[in-house]
A and B are shown apart, each in its own frame.
Chain A
Amino acid sequence: MKSRLLLLAALTILAPPAAAAPVAAPHIEAELIGENTAWLPGSTQWVALRLAPEPGWHTYWRNPGDSGLATSLEWTLPEGFAAGEILWPYPSRESLGELTNYGYDRETLHLVPIEVPAKLEVSATLHAKAKWLVCKDICIPGEAPLELTLPVAAIVTTDSAAATRFTEARARLPRAEALAGTFAVAGQELRLEIGDDALAEAQAAEFFPFDNNLVNHGALQRVSLEPGRVRFAQAQSAYFAAMPPFVEGVLVVRGAETKAYTVRALPGEVTTVAAPPMVIPPAAPVSPREAPGLLLVLGFALLGGLILNLMPCVFPVLAIKAVSVLESRRGDPAAERAHALAYTGGVVASCVAAAAMLLAVRSGGEALGWGFQLQSPVFVAFLAYLLLALGLSLSGVVQFGTQLMGVGQGLTEKNGYLGSFFTGVLAVVVASPCTAPFMGVALGTALTAPPLVALLVFATLGLGLALPFLMLGFFPALGKRLPRPGAWMETFKQAMAFPLYFTVAWLLWVLGRQSGIDAVGLALCGLVLASLALWLWGGAARGRSRAALAALATLASLGLLAHPVIRAPAATAKVAEIGQEPWSAARVAELRAQGRVVFVNFTADWCITCKANEKVALGSDKVRAAFAARKVAWLVADWTSADPAITEALAHYGRNGVPLYLLYPPGGGDAVVLPQLLTPDIVLDQLASLPQGD
């Protein structure tokens, strides 16, 4: 026996390296290769199907995705041999138009374990019929009978040429022991969560399911990655049948090196993944240590806040404050400083509070953006109440200083520090529709930064908004440049009521677009009741029951806000302007596939900047004619009411609010992002600079 094995060993050394020649098929080369130069009786050895497609062509993974076909092997083996299943290296995504496949666009070894019997003759030949589908834009199925003949030996050595290939192939195999995960199917999507130390250094992660019918392969895979934990969410497949008992697949983790793991997930609770890709990540999250970057961001935030003072929705509120400043000019400087600080405190505190809320809700997985509060019809109606009340106060129906803001303060009328503080809060609340032009990018960036930095940015923003009054408080000399107080002040104050009434009218229009005419009717009744309450409170009527009636009217007016009609979405769909159609990512892809230039207007009815741009720039005859001439497809993404898909798209461009204007060039390529303040010339120039499509 021993001598026989020695003889075999000798034969092996003398025998030429045995490998069948590769088979050339259209656009691909196929070959069966062995890791060792000989069969070792009674062992498990590795062979591989090597598929080498031409550049641009690819073959398929075990789950091929939207189309395609997994490669397969049919073995014909000598007696005693047994072949295992293919060990699949992790695939890559091959996107072909609107479809997504999982496969290999390079030479790939499909490793198969072979059990070699204990008793063997001099040599043995394995036969296998390999079947594959090789695709570029078209597909060619192929098959080839392959064989591998190796001598039998007592000592086996590794084929040096094959060794490198097998080592490389093993590096692309998912680790066999499965990571545990949790999955959920909810909201028409598959969610998956995996927590493991393997993810500690991960910079990117991707999940490939084994089952073909789980997810819509072409849909965006949203990923939330943090040290040691990853969450995925992806739209479920149209062929999703029933909740599976478990979900298996491959997790590819990219960090210093790329590693793949098998994952086995069991049903459980998984939160969705919110607005995904901040595509600006190269600019890296701002960290406190990166002082210059942070200072620049803070500088912009300060400037943005300063400019907010001039916004149409903020100005009337400031008018109230201006009047009170003028009136208190003869007061002592210390009190003026205290008022300025109280006002600044109100502004900064409410900015920080809004940011904290936004961050908290976002970390809970909700997709929100700046201005989200205006997506709530109840909030819009409440804001209308508030502004009407302020207007009536300016008109002289009621004096607020003592009645509301100064309650319990025991301070003099209009000079209560609490009053100043709340004026600051109010300024932030009414400023929210006007945050767009200078804050869109800053807010988007801020929210990708660590929370502390984000809060700092928001605080600076508030500081900018409060700055003019802060200056006035601390440098009374500036105040001397203001006109002398006098009877004109009452007139000015009353005149300032009218911008507020106009704002109320606009808010009602927004409400109408959100919830329909019934909601507007209800809100109008509420406004009348609120006016009644204020009139009673203002002392115009006499009698003991005055306070009770006023309270009743207030309650009734606020009670109307709780009516479901206010929250109901508008019954009729919005009528798009001729030549415009609603936005969807799919529609963009479709129109681009037709070679059209695509323009997307991300807008909302409550966004004044948006409306101004639409009127002045987009609505101009020049722009419309130019759009028509280039057959530009005009899509409108309306964010008036909450829409996660739009929030996601905004986040994609690092934005947190509207407006956002995108112009997609014909024939592919990234979209051009237009400025947030448009003129007809800006639009025309951008359009002219696009390449001429076919």
Chain B
Amino acid sequence: MRTLVTTLAAVLFAGAASAAPQLNQPAPAFKLAGSDGKQHSLADYKGKYVVLEWTNHECPFVKKHYAGNMQMLQKDLTRKGAVWLSIVSSAPGKQGAVDAAKATELTLARGAAPTVVLLDPNGEAGRAYEAKTTPHMYIVAPDGKLIYMGGIDSIPSSDAADIPKATQYVQVALTEAMAGKPVTNASTRPYGCSVKY
């Protein structure tokens, strides 16, 4: 028997034993108010590919991609039949928190083309997906299973000049899935600002 075993906690925050989102498992369900004033749930879009984008319009990493890249992706992928849900999980009063009117205004001002912007002020959907950063991206297949989670692209930086050099993970994953192929990089490192729960 050991003479002395001292145990210490490095961090007080205990590990979340709750079910983390898992690839090839049903994606966590949610029901959120949209910028269009209607309620949207993930189940509404069963049968379609759904792209989930966690966003915060004041975050520099989001700004990097809204210099044109994100809008282009939204237009390209929705045209191919995917549903694009931009989700704002900032708590009221924190950076990036918006109401429906502000969300619509931002979409227009930026020339963005999500299917709808969803408001998650309590962070319920964000926590269910363990969304950590903005942007943080997920793709749900028509059968409701999660097929991609992680970063928007392969170069973690806040510099828009890096975008052309990076692998566009989301676009590649969705293109592969739509062609009936397995997703090569299904789980990648998300990067960006922390989600302001």
Contact = CB atoms under 8 A, between A and B. Distances in A.
Interface string B124-161: 00010010110000000000000001100000111100
A219 B16 contact: yes
B10 interface: yes
Contact of B9 (A100, A220, A235): A220
B194 A66 contact: yes
10 contacts: A99-B194, A137-B94, A138-B58, A221-B11, A238-B22, A273-B7, A275-B7, A584-B16, A585-B15, A585-B16
A585 B156 contact: no
Contact of B8 (A98, A101, A223, A275): A223
Contacts, number: 175
Interface in A206-226: 206, 212-213, 216, 218-226
Given A205-B8, A277-B8, A586-B127, 12 more contacts: A93-B10, A135-B193, A138-B196, A218-B11, A220-B14, A222-B7, A223-B9, A225-B7, A235-B15, A238-B149, A585-B14, A594-B122
Interface string B23-64: 000000000000000000000000000000000001111000
A195 interface: no
B95 interface: yes
Given A67-B133, A137-B94, A277-B7, A586 B2 contact: no
A235 B130 CA distance: 14
A649 B58 contact: no
A279 interface: yes
A586 B133 contact: no
Contacts of B122: 594
Contacts of B158: 69, 133, 141
Q: Which of B15, B16, B18, B127 has the most CB of A within 10 A?
A: B15
A66 B2 contact: no
B193 A139 contact: yes
Nearest to B132: A66
Contacts of A213: 187, 189
A218 B5 contact: no
B166 interface: no
A95 B12 CA distance: 10
B18 A219 contact: no
Nearest to A215: B15
Contacts of B159: 131, 141, 143
A204 interface: yes
Interface residues of A, number: 69
Nearest to B197: A97
A294 to B, nearest CB: 16
B84 interface: no
A135 B59 CA distance: 11
Interface in B107-134: 122-123, 127, 130, 132-133
B8 A69 contact: no
A139 B58 CA distance: 9
Given A67-B192, A451-B1, A220 B6 contact: no
Contacts of B9: 220-223, 276-277, 279, 652
Contacts of B157: 69, 131
Interface string A62-75: 00001111000000
Contacts of B17: 235, 584-586, 645
A97 B194 contact: yes
Contacts of B12: 220
A238 B21 contact: yes
B20 interface: yes
Interface of A: 66-69, 93, 95-101, 131, 133, 135, 137-141, 143, 203-206, 212-213, 216, 218-227, 234-235, 238-239, 241, 273-279, 281, 285, 359-360, 363, 450-451, 584-587, 589-590, 593-594, 645, 648-649, 652
Interface size class of B (residues with CB under 8 A): 35 or more
B168 interface: no
B169 interface: no
A455 B33 CA distance: 59
A218 B95 contact: no
B58 A584 contact: no
Q: Shortest 6 CB-CB distances between A and B: which pairs?
A: A219-B15, A585-B14, A277-B9, A141-B158, A586-B16, A67-B194
Contacts of B60: 133, 139-141
B15 A281 contact: no
Nearest to A273: B7
A351 B7 CA distance: 25
A590 B21 CA distance: 17
A66 B1 CA distance: 38
A281 B195 CA distance: 35
Contacts of B10: 93, 204, 206, 220-221, 223
Contact of A139 (B4, B16, B59, B187): B59
Contact of A220 (B15, B133, B150): B15
Contact of A212 (B8, B14, B16, B189): B189
A354 B82 CA distance: 61
Looking at chain B's contact residues, the main secondary structure is loop
Contacts of A649: 14
Contact of B4 (A241, A285, A645): A285
Given A137-B95, A645-B17, A93 B191 contact: no
Nearest to B191: A69
A218 B130 CA distance: 11
Contact of B18 (A131, A137, A584): A584
Given A67-B191, A238-B21, A359-B1, A276 B13 contact: no
Nearest to B96: A138
A221 B189 CA distance: 21
Contacts of A131: 157, 159
Given A139-B60, A276-B7, A216 B156 contact: no
A665 to B, nearest CB: 15
A226 B132 contact: no
Contacts of A226: 2-6
Contacts of B59: 138-139
B104 interface: no
B188 interface: yes
Contacts of A648: 14
Nearest to A133: B158
Interface string B74-111: 00000000000000000100110000000000000000
Contacts of A273: 7
A342 B175 CA distance: 79
Contacts of A100: 11, 13
Nearest to A241: B187
Contacts of B16: 216, 218-219, 235, 584-586
Contacts of B123: 590, 593
A590 B120 CA distance: 14
Nearest to A208: B10
A639 to B, nearest CB: 14
Contacts of A68: 194
A285 to B, nearest CB: 7
Nearest to A97: B197
Q: Which of B94, B95, B132, B197 has the most CB of A within 10 A?
A: B132
A95 B11 contact: yes
Contacts of B94: 137
Contacts of B11: 93, 95, 100, 218-221
A281 B6 contact: yes
Q: Which of A98, A101, A360 has the most CB of B within 10 A?
A: A98
Contact of A276 (B8, B61, B91): B8
A245 to B, nearest CB: 19
Contacts of B132: 66-67, 99
B18 to A, nearest CB: 5
Given A225-B6, A225-B7, A98 B13 contact: yes
A28 to B, nearest CB: 14
Interface in B152-194: 156-159, 187-194
Nearest to B158: A141
Nearest to B94: A137
Contacts of B130: 238
